[in-house]
Amino acid sequence: TFPSGTTRPRLTFIGTGYLGATYAICFAELGYEVLGVDVDTDKIENLRSGVVPFHEPGLDEVLHRNLDSGRLGFTTDFAEAAAFGDVHFICVGTPQGPEGVADLRYVEAAVTSLVPHLDRKVMLVGKSTVPVGTTEWIRDLCRRFAPTDVAVEVAWSPEFLQEGHAVEDVLRPDRVVFGASSDWAIDALYAAHKGVFDLAMNEDREVPVVITDVATAELVKVASNAFLATKISFINAMATMCDAAGADVAQLARAMGYDERIGSKFLRAGVGFGGGCLPKDIRAFAARAEQLGVTDLRFLGEIDAINRRRRTRVVELAAALLGCDVSRPTQPDLSGRRIAVLGAAFKPNTDDVRDSPALAVASLLQGCGADLRVYDPAGLQNAQAAAPHLTYAKSLEDAARDADLVCVLTAWDEFRNVEPAALAGVVRQTRIIDAMNCLDPAEWIGVGWTYRGLGRYGSP
């Protein structure tokens, strides 16, 4: 029984962005009483009135259902949150600070806003992605800011959800990790996730649980992201090799992926990784390693560099394909060339444009003088805010009209399913760069397009 008298803990999710809002809504769906907490009044107003402030398939419907159920509320008031919750999940942003180090100011603000209001024993659970050692630092903040007679347990449960697939990932995780230092904390973590385990049991599934110390739990997330980033940069380095050797990286990856030790996932060469997580997380991980005197993680700097070179690679390819002056390879003259950029989100099924390779390439192309039109099925509004210097189109056709070159930079289904023959009637020149290697070259070449992938036969 929790000090508030409940056996099923009441949960707060502090920070209602991509992570926290999805959690708040999905845990209400699992039957918990939930309060989402944020400092952004617009976001909270939107959520209260049933509007998910970002694009996430299926989430609107779950939000509406649970607002109606009365189990789900949202607030900007930390005193209300402290009075309500037994378990408080920290889901605020941890952006990149100077020198790549994670900026923990929002974590600090969340903790120091909440804990002075506490009047009973509670647990804080970190879900944000943080440097190893953060739990101990939060414990220290709690000792300094919580009332002296209130015990605050701090545990860590890293989060692995993927935007675009987040509802499913939260309701049906492939594993959960509990980092805790006491039996009470482990019991409270189980109670706060019982809905997830019950759902799995009803569906005859198992959710593996890893119970560990807090430092290991903190490391699981950054180590996983570092591994995924390494896998992507590895296959992208192979794409560069394929270009140099006249080989095909798609077939190479397919053949490699059949080896179960390697696996086919995250082995697609393309424009590289982006988003609000992988790039900043590997930089923060490398920076934390240096702080701890560990030099073995320096290879992550090269993983990052390979990834950033993918973006300039697309510009080189565009210049070569358009027959432009490439005497300055890093700054080819693309003036007067109209380019359709298909994609702005950092990946399909999200409107998230944080550190988006598509927008980065678009900015580089425009910087070389190209006349651009950028289109994205969901990310246009965020793209306009993040990159107001670019020109946007309301539809794929508008973007492609009279284009000398089409660049596919986000692998949305809308672009994968486009009819090459129909698009040929819209553009000025039938040239396409498939920077995600997500199209079937034969289909495009078959109806007369000049097709280039990254690391595929024929790439100059």
Q: Is 347 in the site for ligand NAD (CB under 6 A)?
A: no
Q: How many residues bind ligand NAD (CB under 6 A)?
A: 27
- Region 132-161 residues binding ligand NAD, contact defined as CB under 6 A: 159, 161
Q: Considering only residues 73, 93, 377, 455, which one is a binding residue for ligand NAD as defined by CB under 6 A?
A: 93
CB of 455 to ligand NAD, least distance (A): 27
Q: Is 59 in the site for ligand NAD (CB under 6 A)?
A: no
CA–chain centroid gap for 63, Å, is 21
Per the listing, tokens 């949305």 go with 412
What is the token pair recorded at 111? Answer: 């903790």
- Region 160-189 residues binding ligand NAD, contact defined as CB under 6 A: 161, 163
Q: Is 43 in the site for ligand NAD (CB under 6 A)?
A: yes
Taking alpha carbons only, the member of 203, 175, 309, 254 closest to residue 456 is 254
CB of 354 to ligand NAD, least distance (A): 8
Q: Is 218 in the site for ligand NAD (CB under 6 A)?
A: no
CB of 403 to ligand NAD, least distance (A): 32
Instruction: Give the angle subtended at the CA of 18 by the CAs of 32 and 143, to the nearest 5°.
Output: 65
Which CB sits closer to ligand NAD, 33 or 163? 163
Three-state SS string across 68-98, please? HHCCEEEECCHHHHHHHCCEEEECCCCCECH
Q: Is 19 in the site for ligand NAD (CB under 6 A)?
A: yes
Instruction: Give the angle subtended at the CA of 242 by the CAs of 232 and 237, to the nearest 5°.
Output: 30
| Spatial distance between the Cα atoms of 405 and 451, rounded to a whole number of angstroms | 10
Q: Is 438 in the site for ligand NAD (CB under 6 A)?
A: no
The residue range among 105-113, 138-146, 198-206, 239-247 that interacts with ligand NAD, by the rule CB under 6 A, is 105-113
| Spatial distance between the Cα atoms of 24 and 34, rounded to a whole number of angstroms | 6
Q: Is 355 in the site for ligand NAD (CB under 6 A)?
A: no
Which CB sits closer to ligand NAD, 346 or 415? 346
Q: Considering only residues 13, 18, 32, 412, which one is a binding residue for ligand NAD as defined by CB under 6 A?
A: 18
- Region 390-419 residues binding ligand NAD, contact defined as CB under 6 A: none
Q: Is 11 in the site for ligand NAD (CB under 6 A)?
A: no
Tell me the residue number closest to ligand NAD, measured at CB. 17
Q: Considering only residues 16, 46, 66, 307, which one is a binding residue for ligand NAD as defined by CB under 6 A?
A: 16
Which CB sits closer to ligand NAD, 134 or 307? 134
Which CB sits closer to ligand NAD, 238 or 289? 289
Which CB sits closer to ligand NAD, 153 or 352? 352
Within 13 Å and on the Cβ side, how many CA atoms surround 224?
16
Instruction: Give the angle subtended at the CA of 47 by the CAs of 52 and 172, to the nearest 5°.
Output: 60
Which CB sits closer to ligand NAD, 15 or 453? 15
Q: Which helix (H) or strand (E) holds 373?
A: strand 371-375
Q: Is 14 in the site for ligand NAD (CB under 6 A)?
A: yes
Q: Is 46 in the site for ligand NAD (CB under 6 A)?
A: no
Q: Is 17 in the site for ligand NAD (CB under 6 A)?
A: yes
SS3 452: strand
Q: Is 75 in the site for ligand NAD (CB under 6 A)?
A: no
Residues labelled as active-site residues: 277
Radius of gyration of the chain (CA): 24
Which CB sits closer to ligand NAD, 26 or 91? 91
Q: Is 115 in the site for ligand NAD (CB under 6 A)?
A: no
Helical pair 194-202 and 183-192, crossing angle rounded to 10 deg: 50
Q: Is 128 in the site for ligand NAD (CB under 6 A)?
A: yes
Sequential DSSP letters for 129-197: ---TTHHHHHHHHHHHHS-TT--EEEEE------TTSHHHHHHS-S-EEEE-SSHHHHHHHHHHTHHHH
Q: How many residues does the chain have?
A: 460
Max distance between CA atoms of the chain, in angstroms, equals 76
What is the token pair recorded at 328? Answer: 């300055």
Q: Is 40 in the site for ligand NAD (CB under 6 A)?
A: yes
| Spatial distance between the Cα atoms of 272 and 264, rounded to a whole number of angstroms | 16
Which CB sits closer to ligand NAD, 15 or 332? 15
CB-based contact 102:289 (threshold 8 Å): no
* Contact residues: ligand NAD, CB under 6 A: 14-20, 37-40, 43, 91-94, 106, 109-110, 113, 128-129, 159, 161, 163, 276-277
